[in-house]
Structure 1
Amino acid sequence: MRGLTPGPQLPPRLPEVQALSRFLAAKPEEWPGLAPRVTDEIGADALRRIVHATIARTGEFVTVTDSPDGLIVSGAKGQVRAWAQAAPDGEITALRIEGARYRPPRHRRRLPAPVTWATYLILVTLWNVLTVWTASDRIAWLGNMATLAAIYVIVEGCGAPAQQPRPLRRTVEAGAVAALASVWRLPGLPAGHGALRLAVGIALLAGAVWLVAAARLHRWRAPVSRPLLFPLEGTWYVVQGGGRVLNHHAHVPEQRGALDLVGLGRHGTRVRPGRDLTAYAAYGRPVRSPCDGRVISAADTVQDQKPGEIRYQPPYGNHVFIDTGREIVKLAHLRPGSVTVAKGDMVGAGQLLGEVGNTGNTTEPHLHIHAERDGVGLDLEFTGLSGRLHRGRKIRA
């Protein structure tokens, strides 16, 4: 790990590349001079273990390069992703190295996920509407309507429709109206004998209702010790929250009760035309402390992600973690330069903490909030908000 320096191909616009290259090429006794804050915070022994684990995955260090996925540390045996911040003098002020080998994504031309999802949904809806209009008897019509209703229950209950563009939402709604309009055909249709089709449709509808209801009503039976103050103002939409079907945090023990909240604008949409951060209704909105307590961690210097992309960063990005004495409340993905508190500060409920941003593991501006006790996530409760908090719920605060 010595004698290697960044080659001339490294982009000068990224001082982090040069700084991380110097650090990884240096001897361990040189690390305190190259990254004093990191060494003090993590500890020399822990830092040595992290670097040795990285070498075990990559082989002897060769180079650091930049990529759309983040900084890539390459060695003889493989690559890992990293994130670093560097001062103007080249000192590393923050460092994170992923604990798994990096595999570059295949560069295949494909439609964006929203376009693929929209095309699939429209085709499925269109097909079901046509089957309703072409049903040969009443029982077949009822069976097809039950199947179509099951699709709408899943879409509306699990698909977070407020996240979708308004034209897509209106198309899906128009499909429902078109299907219902076919009821005028019933008087002229024979009764029919397609009991199996009807039974299948009813079973699908019952299953969809049960799936959505169970996920929306789900609780972990571990509530916060007292209701929190809702940290945002205005109209917000829960895009992650509830049971496993509705909340991708559920598989992470400490985040299982987490909520992801996006802001809604005047017309009920989360984003105006345009793809920059300011087009999102949530971006820059104030975030206030949901509780009294002591700040045990705060970060303010992680840069915003570009919407729709994720570079490797600390997962929470800019954040504030508050210890209430009974549980730890975490608020994440804040805007760089907006955090108003530091580690060790005492805060009161309602105090300004920062603004909603797009830092960390996120594809669009939103606020992540969860509470945990002994590493286990808790069910969130907020003063003045009744009912379950789940994907698809609008909150007006």
Structure 2
Amino acid sequence: MQALSRFLAAKPEEWPGLAPRVTDEIGADALRRIVHATIARTGEFVTVTDSPDGLIVSGAKGQVRAWAQAAPDGEITALRIEGARYRPPRHRRRLPAPVTWATYLILVTLWNVLTVWTASDRIAWLGNMATLAAIYVIVEGCGAPAQQPRPLRRTVEAGAVAALASVWRLPGLPAGHGALRLAVGIALLAGAVWLVAAARLHRWRAPVSRPLLFPLEGTWYVVQGGGRVLNHHAHVPEQRGALDLVGLGRHGTRVRPGRDLTAYAAYGRPVRSPCDGRVISAADTVQDQKPGEIRYQPPYGNHVFIDTGREIVKLAHLRPGSVTVAKGDMVGAGQLLGEVGNTGNTTEPHLHIHAERDGVGLDLEFTGLSGRLHRGRKIRA
């Protein structure tokens, strides 16, 4: 923080000397443009303060977020400044872990279980069951169940058992005439099946030039992957085919009791090169995020980018101090690159991997793994 304050308060001709590594990486002209743009957004530089969102550079006109690393002598060794004004959130309130979208879906599910048990006739029962089945298709197909706390998962499973148990009522119910309700339920179920199937089977029709080696060992769970409904990377052109992978422990859960980094099954697991190629970028000094929070950092955090000569393969969010290669190194498939961490834009330890060609994301394929890679799939490697 002090080093960044000193840097921003210095004269423009002093900036390259205060951040020589940054200058070598991006060039003196680019560094000047970035700092001048920052001052234009904030007004004359006043202070640098720390906040839950990262370092905040404040001036007379406004604020921007920044991230910086410095050597003991005050030299800026790494720097990133957001290209937009920072607007602090009005309310910084974190909901308890169980209060998620899955909780609301479970409440809807339980309500529909109640409607099955209170159906007045067989047609109404069938319509309610079709609606309930549609909810289960969405929850299971889009919700990444293994990422949810076990009590929520067990509640969903118990709801299905409770709904099916209501079948004993059918012999005592009249036939009924609620054809519209049945039609609506069937339409909802068909729509849910189509939505999930289309997202899971989606391909961008731009495959990698050859299958990659899966970079992890053990059991992993895809929390982001597939079509737009299942993959939040899809709106970013170069990341549209990306996967986010979390580790699963012996009991099929991603996190053991406790909320520190080592409680997560993925944290510290080795990451190996998925291909042969040349390292074009590597970072190792970005600090881990606290689980559940994201401070402003370089979005990939610690990473290794490999140029195969046909595409660029990017692996991100690695543990600080674990990266074993540097820019310019030649690597072979299977070579140790680092360990899974929680650096960059991430709320829990996981590995991000994607491949791109000319700035466009590619469909990932791995040797020995058949079928589509989508949210909710388990991979044993």
Distance in structure 2 (CA, Å) of the matches to 1:337 and 1:190: 69
CA offsets per residue over residues 28-55 of structure 1, 9 Å max, x none?
1101221111112111111111111112
RMSD: 1.0
Deviation of 1:60 (Å): 1.4
Deviation of 1:207 (Å): 0.6
1:282 corresponding residue in structure 2:
266
Secondary structure of 2:14's counterpart equals: helix
Q: Which runs of 5+ in 1 are unaligned?
A: 1-16
CA offsets per residue over residues 103-161 of structure 1, 9 Å max, x none?
10122546336414344133211110000000000010011001110100000000000
CA offsets per residue over residues 315-337 of structure 1, 9 Å max, x none?
00000000000000000000000
Q: Which runs of 5+ in 2 are unaligned?
A: none
Deviation of 1:166 (Å): 1.0
Contact 2:208 2:355 in 1 (8 A): yes
Identical amino acids, percent of aligned pairs: 100
Secondary structure of 2:348's counterpart equals: coil
Contact 2:48 2:58 in 1 (8 A): yes
2:3 corresponding residue in structure 1:
19
CA offsets per residue over residues 338-373 of structure 1, 9 Å max, x none?
000000000000000000000000000000000000
Deviation of 1:56 (Å): 2.0
Distance in structure 2 (CA, Å) of the matches to 1:206 and 1:108: 40
The alignment status of 1:115 with 2:99, answered yes or no, reads: yes
Distance in structure 2 (CA, Å) of the matches to 1:113 and 1:194: 40
Distance in structure 2 (CA, Å) of the matches to 1:231 and 1:110: 34
The alignment status of 1:172 with 2:156, answered yes or no, reads: yes
Deviation of 1:393 (Å): 0.4
Secondary structure of 1:115's counterpart equals: coil
Q: Compare 105-114 and 350-359 and name the one that shifted more.
A: 105-114
Task: Pick from 23, 27, 47 the counterpart of residue 63 of structure 1.
Answer: 47
Distance in structure 2 (CA, Å) of the matches to 1:270 and 1:116: 17
Secondary structure of 1:239's counterpart equals: strand
Secondary structure of 2:100's counterpart equals: helix
CA offsets per residue over residues 275-298 of structure 1, 9 Å max, x none?
000000000000000000000000
Q: Compare 37-46 and 373-382 and name the one that shifted more.
A: 37-46
Distance in structure 2 (CA, Å) of the matches to 1:314 and 1:328: 19
Secondary structure of 2:99's counterpart equals: helix
Distance in structure 2 (CA, Å) of the matches to 1:295 and 1:108: 39
Contact 2:98 2:149 in 1 (8 A): no
Secondary structure of 2:314's counterpart equals: strand
Deviation of 1:175 (Å): 0.3
| Structure-2-length-normalised TM-score | 0.99
Could you list the runs of 4 or more consecutive aligned residues of structure 1 that deviate by over 4 angstroms after TM superposition?
none
Q: Compare 343-352 and 54-63 and name the one that shifted more.
A: 54-63
> For the structure 1 residues 182 and 358, does the alpha-carbon distance in structure 2 shift closer, same or farther, using more than 3 Å as the test?
same
Distance in structure 1 (CA, Å) of the matches to 2:243 and 2:144: 13
> For the structure 1 residues 342 and 270, does the alpha-carbon distance in structure 2 shift closer, same or farther, using more than 3 Å as the test?
same
Task: Pick from 208, 211, 227 the counterpart of residue 224 of structure 1.
Answer: 208
| Structure-1-length-normalised TM-score | 0.95
CA offsets per residue over residues 56-113 of structure 1, 9 Å max, x none?
2211111100001000001111111000000011110000001111110122546336
CA offsets per residue over residues 216-238 of structure 1, 9 Å max, x none?
00000000000000000000000
Q: Compare 103-112 and 22-31 and name the one that shifted more.
A: 103-112
Distance in structure 2 (CA, Å) of the matches to 1:357 and 1:342: 18
Secondary structure of 2:249's counterpart equals: coil
Distance in structure 1 (CA, Å) of the matches to 2:112 and 2:355: 43
> For the structure 1 residues 255 and 45, does the alpha-carbon distance in structure 2 shift closer, same or farther, using more than 3 Å as the test?
same
Contact 2:282 2:304 in 1 (8 A): yes
